[in-house]
Amino acid sequence: MALLTTDAIVLQLYDYMESSRIVRLATREAGLLSAIAKGAKRQRARAGSALDLFVEGTAHVYVRPTRDLHTLGGFEAGPGRPALGTDLQRFMAANALGEVALRVLHGEPNGAAYDTLRETLDAINGASSNVPTAADSAALSGIWRLLSKLGFAPALDVCASCHAELGPAEEPVRFLPEVGGVLCARCAGAVAEGSGRALPAVERARLLAWVSGAEAEVPAEREVRAHKRLLREFLDAHLTGDRPLRVWEMWSRE
């Protein structure tokens, strides 16, 4: 049993027996890890007082190579993200991000994905309270970028069917989640009427910015709802299978 010390973000917590908790961590050095924090529910436990949802810090994990559940030896929390726990909109956005991360991260190190997760939680925490859609926009941007870092980026600048390049001023007719992105006008004409979703040029440009991590104007509420539906359909087509995203059901109806 080797000791792993790594940067980590708490993505999920649940009680185990009388005094312990199971924690699922996104880590820089080992990807997604599950560990038991023995005695974490006791006030004096070394790990218990520091563990909380979306807290980032340094985790000391005793790794058992042949097992899926490891042992958390300690957790030193860094600066918190207090707004995630005091604002429902930010909390729901962070939960939507966390639920996707739990599905797409695996037990392999991916520093770029870890940094994207950390930066997105910071962006949601710091979203302007004067812009009602800022937290949701930060979450949407971060989820698309996380998918990109893991190799699931949608086709946005080429047709997902014929791979023809789409000019910057060309407006894609359709975004089809099942084929992995946008279709040019010719390919869109060959699919069943009503398939996919119309994606105006301005929204394609916004998606391109989100996927690449570039700055993008925060969309209005109507556009945010449309982007949530689009992303949910993309996730359902490629990642979730028959396991529904429960938090997304609430976040999409928010």
- pLDDT score at 13: 92
At residue 70 the predicted structure's pLDDT band, cuts being 50, 70 and 90, is very high
In this predicted structure, what is the pLDDT of residue 41? 66
Give me the pLDDT at residue 254, please.
Answer: 58
Q: pTM value?
A: 0.92
pLDDT at 242: 72
If pLDDT is split at 50, 70 and 90, which confidence band does 10 have? very high
- Map out the domains of the chain with their CATH numbers: 2-77 (2.40.50.140), 86-154+199-253 (1.20.1440)
| 212 pLDDT tier (thresholds 50, 70, 90) | very high
String of DSSP letters for 69-137: EEEEEEEEE-S--THHHH-HHHHHHHHHHHHHHHHH--SS--HHHHHHHHHHHHHHHT--TTSTTHHHH
* Residue 241 confidence (pLDDT) above 80: no
Instruction: Give the integer Cα–Cα distance in Å for 142 and 120.
Output: 5
* pLDDT at residue 172 tops 80: no
Average pLDDT, the chain: 89
What is the tens place of the pLDDT at every residue in 47-60? 545 788 999 999 99
Which whole number is the average pLDDT over 26-46?
A: 82
| Bridge pairing between strands 56-63 and 31-37 | unpaired
pLDDT at 45: 47
Give the pLDDT confidence score for residue 209 in this predicted structure.
Answer: 95
Tell me the mean pLDDT in the region 179-197: 86
In this prediction, residue 49 carries a pLDDT of 56
Q: What are phi and psi of 74, to 5 degrees?
A: -175, 160
Highest mean pLDDT among 28-32, 192-196, 213-217: 28-32
| Percent share of the chain, pLDDT over 70 | 94
- Inform me whether the pLDDT recorded for 211 exceeds 90: yes
pLDDT at res. 36: 93
Whole-angstrom distance, CA of residue 83 vs CA of residue 13: 19
Give pLDDT, residue 245.
Answer: 83
Please answer whether residues 131 and 176 qualify as being in contact, where contact means their C-beta atoms are separated by less than 8 angstroms: no
Q: Tokens for 140?
A: 């949407």
The predicted model gives 88-106 an average pLDDT of 94
